[in-house]
Amino acid sequence: MQKLKPQFPIIALIKQAMVEDVGSGDITTQAIISSTQKAKAIVLAKENGIIAGLAIAREVFRQIDGKIKFISKVKDGTMVEKGEIIANLVGPARGILSGERVALNFLQRLSGIATLTNQFVKKIKGARVKILDTRKTTPGLRALEKYAVKMGGGGNHRMGLYDAILIKDNHIKIAGGIEKAVKAVRAKKADKAIEIEAKSISEVKQAIKLQVDRILLDNMNIKTLRDAVKLCIIAGIKTEASGGINLNNVGVIARCGVDSISIGALTHSAKALDISLKIN
């Protein structure tokens, strides 16, 4: 698994998920299964998709019982087909049953994001444009969900408010205009590249005049988008399309010449990939 930032509390997150699900104990499993019973299980893909989150699933079982062996049969970023075995498990039956749902919740969620991202990536094949995620992520799961986007072939926009400048419409309104907002940033964060949101050709022209580094072209129709991109190319400014983007129109948007396309749906609307755990 690609390394997450050191500050990302993966173990704490898993433990919190286990407390939420198992709480004081899995009373059904404890009533039926003895503490010495062993079991074998498979993790099975029930539909085609891109896998992401295997290391998280493995860690869930390690946290619940270190004697459980989780053996991956594929790597994150792999396309699997319906009926394909993703992993094998061997170990204490109680631990396998009690960790099943939390492990699958992570694996299904992240694999769903990777799969949806890959669908967008395939739609723009051949275009010189990058599919990016946004900050529209599940609270507490951002690092994992952005990792899943990368496993699907996409890229990450800023991780949070702390690592990149993006002047949005509400910043502009409060500042009193595009020029005032840009000047305020340059006065206090001169070392940072500036990206600014523009909703019209007029706003694009203002941003170009101020020589910003990147312009986010928000919710523009195709004609306006093409016109805006032409102006930015002449000015040597990078462009990003965003807003109202789906699998039906992403190909057309990509051919407008933008450098990147950011899509909130990658993380806020991805359907969980259907994956199950079966005892052998």
Local confidence pLDDT in tens for the 280 residues of the chain: 455 544 458 899 999 999 999 999 999 999 999 999 999 999 999 999 999 999 999 999 999 999 999 999 999 999 999 999 999 999 999 999 999 999 999 999 999 999 999 999 999 999 999 999 999 999 999 999 999 999 999 999 999 999 999 999 999 999 999 999 999 999 999 999 999 999 999 999 999 999 999 999 999 999 999 999 999 999 999 999 999 999 999 999 999 999 999 999 999 999 999 999 999 9
240: containing domain: 124-268
pTM of the full structure: 0.94
CATH at 165: 3.20.20.70
In a domain, 4, yes or no: no
In a domain, 54, yes or no: yes
Q: Given phi > 0 = left and psi -120 to 50 = alpha, else beta, which region is 140?
A: left
Say whether both 167 and 194 belong to one domain.
yes
In a domain, 184, yes or no: yes
Say whether both 155 and 239 belong to one domain.
yes
Say whether both 155 and 248 belong to one domain.
yes
**Catalytic residue annotation:** 101, 136, 168, 197, 218
Question: Burial of 101 by CB count in 10 Å (0-12 exposed, 13-18 middle, 19+ buried)?
Answer: middle
Say whether both 184 and 240 belong to one domain.
yes
In a domain, 3, yes or no: no
Say whether both 182 and 107 belong to one domain.
no
Q: Which residues contact 255 (CB under 8 A, 6 or more apart)?
A: 127
Domain tally, the chain: 2
